[in-house]
Chains A and B, each alone.
Chain A
Amino acid sequence: MNGKVVAIISGKGGVGKTTTAANLGIALATLGQKVVCIDTDIGLRNLDVVLGLENRIVYDLVDVVEGRCRLTQAMVRDRRYENLHLIPAAQTRDKSAVSASDMVRLCEELRSMADWIVIDSPAGIERGFRNAIAPADQVLVITNPEVSSLRDADRIIGLVEAEEKGPAQLIINRINPEMVKRGDMLSISDVIELLAIPLIGIVPEDETVLISTNSGQPVVLNEKSKAGLAFLNIGKRLLGEEVPWVSLNVKAGLLSRLGQLFSGET
């Protein structure tokens, strides 16, 4: 097995990295892939909560790095999918406990055990971000269609390029078609025009996301949820499938233009 490492980053906080990591992890698992999710948000772990695995944690990432347990001991198995595991972040320890080279080493080991290693990262452009992209083969940048999150996404895309980890792929999360139509929200084309990287997902604003987050049942498990479907499609695109873009009442012209942008990219 030669697993691929996908880092999920954003720059700005609270735009949906953890939500994406959880849902993408499950999406890939439902598609038959062996998946390990890693929460690198040390001190603020919550991927375990979103996945509903909090009560199963014994060891964490820092325990592995500092040699207090074996890698497999820190891998929490999902309740629903036996091919999905989580390595949780440490809750209380200091952020410098894990280095970029620790992450590279850890992921080297995981590559032989899984098809996909999905890394959830902390907000910001400091150590946590560098830890996440150091081992990455692919980088997914999450942004909301909103100016400040866009600015930070642009900044972090530049940093990814500088680390020669580019081109990053883009997920636009929390798009609200009604607001876009009223001109109260940046449109998908505004976002793409500015960031100029290939798009891999458009996730609508969807209140079932919050509800499912609270219950530890990620929205991708909910077949009726539009956001869930969007996350499933991201998983399929990662696997190389060409998935048509779900219509969000966006103009046909735009979608065909998007099509051109992505051809050969995902």
Chain B
Amino acid sequence: MEIKGIKEGILVKFHDQEWQNAKKALIQTLQDKQTFFDGAQLVLDVGHCVLGTHAIEVLQKKLNQHNISLYGLVSKSMITQEAAQKMGLITKLEKSKKKTDQKLEPSDVVLAGESAVLIRRTMRSGFTVKYKGHVAVIGDVNPGAEIIASGSVIVWGRLRGTVHAGADGDLTAIVCALDLSPTQLRIASKIAITPEGQAEPKPEVARIIDEQIVAEPWLN
């Protein structure tokens, strides 16, 4: 059984069960989650189950006892659909007009983000950030400071501390900075140190290529 909130109220969907079993399970759930369902408007998706008007009436009464009103009944069976329609129930969920409106509503096209923290300050010696996700710093990461992220690390500033990206083993994690001169840089289980006497500071990105950490200029 699947329960989710929809525009019309609460949708309970059965996965091809016999109706009697499905109903039992439903009543049990309603009792268990009484406060959740209290006053709810319910839409049932009964799959292939065949329900006549009588069966629906019985169900409706039962639901009313729980202070729930049956609003819709979705089914693959024509018989069930007709019976439901006769009783004034909806038989189709309003498709959340996605297809047509999508381009107009920015909220619908937002990409699923990944979790990250943003640190807007200089990270000084002795300070550590540990995060399950990505870490972004606006400021310098000084020697003696440490960043440990399961994801990638981005520093808008000088990176001179210690950094460990992909700390849980993510080999695709990257580390980039406006000046990439870390005391030590790790990605997953690979370790690199900054060579002495680096040339002019420049934006670079470090990633694993062929089992090795490689730092490349941001624009190549």
Where the two chains meet, the residues of A that have a C-beta atom closer than 8 Å to any C-beta of B are 151-152, 154-155, 157-159, 161, 194, 196
Contacts and interface: CB of A to CB of B under 8 A. Distances in A.
A158 B140 contact: no
A159 B127 CA distance: 9
A159 B124 CA distance: 9
A144 to B, nearest CB: 15
Nearest to B126: A155
Interface residues of B, number: 11
Nearest to B143: A151
B75 interface: no
Q: Name, among A151, A152, A154, the residue most crowded by chain B CB atoms within 10 Å (CB to CB).
A: A154
B125 A196 contact: no
B133 interface: no
Q: Is the interface of A mostly helix, strand, loop or mixed?
A: helix
13 contacts: A151-B143, A151-B144, A154-B126, A154-B143, A155-B124, A155-B125, A155-B126, A155-B144, A158-B122, A158-B124, A194-B140, A194-B142, A194-B160
Nearest to B123: A158
Contact of B140 (A152, A157, A161, A196): A196
Contacts of A161: 121, 124
Contacts of B160: 194
Contacts of B124: 154-155, 157-158, 161
A194 B142 CA distance: 7
Contacts of B142: 154, 194
Given A155-B124, A194-B160, A196-B122, 8 more contacts: A151-B125, A154-B125, A157-B124, A158-B124, A158-B126, A158-B127, A159-B126, A194-B143
| List of 5 A-B pairs having minimum Cβ-Cβ separation, nearest first | A158-B124, A155-B125, A154-B125, A155-B126, A154-B124
Contacts of A154: 124-126, 142-144
Interface string B138-160: 00101110000000000000001
A194 B143 CA distance: 9
Nearest to B142: A154
A29 to B, nearest CB: 34
A240 B142 CA distance: 31
B138 to A, nearest CB: 13
Contacts of A158: 122, 124-127
